[in-house]
Amino acid sequence: MYTIQLGKTGLSVPTVAVGCMRIAKMNEKEADDFVRTALENGANFFDHADIYGGGKSETVFGKAIAGYNRDKILIQTKCGIVPGNVKTFDFTCQHIIESVNGSLQRLGTDYVDVLLLHRPDALMEPEEVAKAFDTLKAAGKVRHFGVSNQNPYQMMLLQKYMDMPLCANQLQFGIMHAPMVQAGFNVNMYNDASTNRDGGVLDFCRLHDITIQPWSPMQYGFFEGCFVDNDKFPRLNEVLARLADKYGVSKTTIAIAWILRHPAKMQPITGTTNLTRLVDCLQAAQITLTREEWYEIYQAAGNILP
């Protein structure tokens, strides 16, 4: 497994991270096999959130890693979404600290390597967030901090009050969800693709050494399904199949390799619990698509170049 630097942390992390959102339904053996397969393939960076499986995903994972050397495993979790009759976001100092304490208990560990704020909170008081981060850092409970689904100004507002740099921004990105690059192709045009929907977050993160972590890289729409082997996308799957045959890998591997080919050095988050597909995702780091192949895939997904 190849590695990249996570933001300005100095942490060397696998180019592909393992998403744990769906492991709550796994039994003990399935969870053990999941973790072992990831680690055997060099993927020791695991992504969580306090709400995944209502907290059970962290519990299942914590039991699965109990026999491993904690220092060899990198754990990232997220907080800030409060489910209930009325869904809310809560970035108060108290909520962040309580959420982290809950995650640590479920994960069976004294610290997490990275904590992300889970989506933006319109009522965020950046001083509160900074206070929580400082408290957690001083207590040794969190080593590094980042965000998810935030635009440049939201990050800048938060960064103004922080003593440490944000290391990551988790954003939806993949072949079938690429507004981060679409707008860059269509600057100064009237078509819909020219709409800047994220404030130029891709270039902002590159300028400030913030690692972009694409989530749901194999999905189309908002959790509408996987595009690989989907009859709705015949042209895309035709191109993926041809390139998979060329490189001797699966279409899933090519889809992840498409993300890794971008020079922003993103760290895609897998979302599968299928061990074969997990390995396929992790193998993408070994494939370097040509420019022509990257652009062919982009256009096969229905994107039009000016």
- 149's CB contacts (< 8 A; 6+ apart) are 119, 120, 169, 170, 171, 172
- Tell me the average pLDDT across 84-105: 97
Closest CA to 149 of 198, 208, 86, 183: 198
pLDDT at 222 over 90: no
Q: Percentage of the chain with pLDDT > 90?
A: 98
Band of residue 223 on the pLDDT scale cut at 50, 70, 90 = confident
- Placement of tokens 């909170």 in the chain: 121
Q: How many domains does the chain have?
A: 1
Q: Token pair of 149, please?
A: 């689904």
Q: Choosing from 52, 153, 295, 298, which is the catalytic residue? A: 52
- b or e along 186-207 (b: 16 or more beta carbons within 10 Å of the residue's beta carbon)? beeeeeebeeeebbebbebbbe
Quote the pLDDT of residue 63: 98
> Does 190 qualify as catalytic in the annotation?
no
- 85's CB contacts (< 8 A; 6+ apart) are none
| pTM (2 d.p.) | 0.97
Band of residue 229 on the pLDDT scale cut at 50, 70, 90 = very high
Tell me phi and psi for residue 287, to 5 degrees. Answer: -110, 130
Band of residue 116 on the pLDDT scale cut at 50, 70, 90 = very high
Give the separation between CA 70 and CA 55, rounded to whole angstroms.
20
Distances, alpha carbon 183 to alpha carbons 167, 172, 209, 244, 264, in Å: 24, 15, 21, 28, 16
User: What domain range is 12 assigned to?
Assistant: 3-300
pLDDT in tens, 246-264: 999 999 999 999 999 999 9
Band of residue 188 on the pLDDT scale cut at 50, 70, 90 = very high
Distances, alpha carbon 112 to alpha carbons 137, 187, 229, in Å: 10, 40, 36
CATH assignment at residue 282: 3.20.20.100
DSSP-derived secondary structure for 9-65: S--EEESSBEE-TTGGG--HHHHHHHHHHHHHTT--EEE--TTGGGGHHHHHHHHHT
- b or e along 106-133 (b: 16 or more beta carbons within 10 Å of the residue's beta carbon)? bbebebbbbbbbbebbeebebebbbbbb
Q: Is residue 305 domain-resident?
A: no
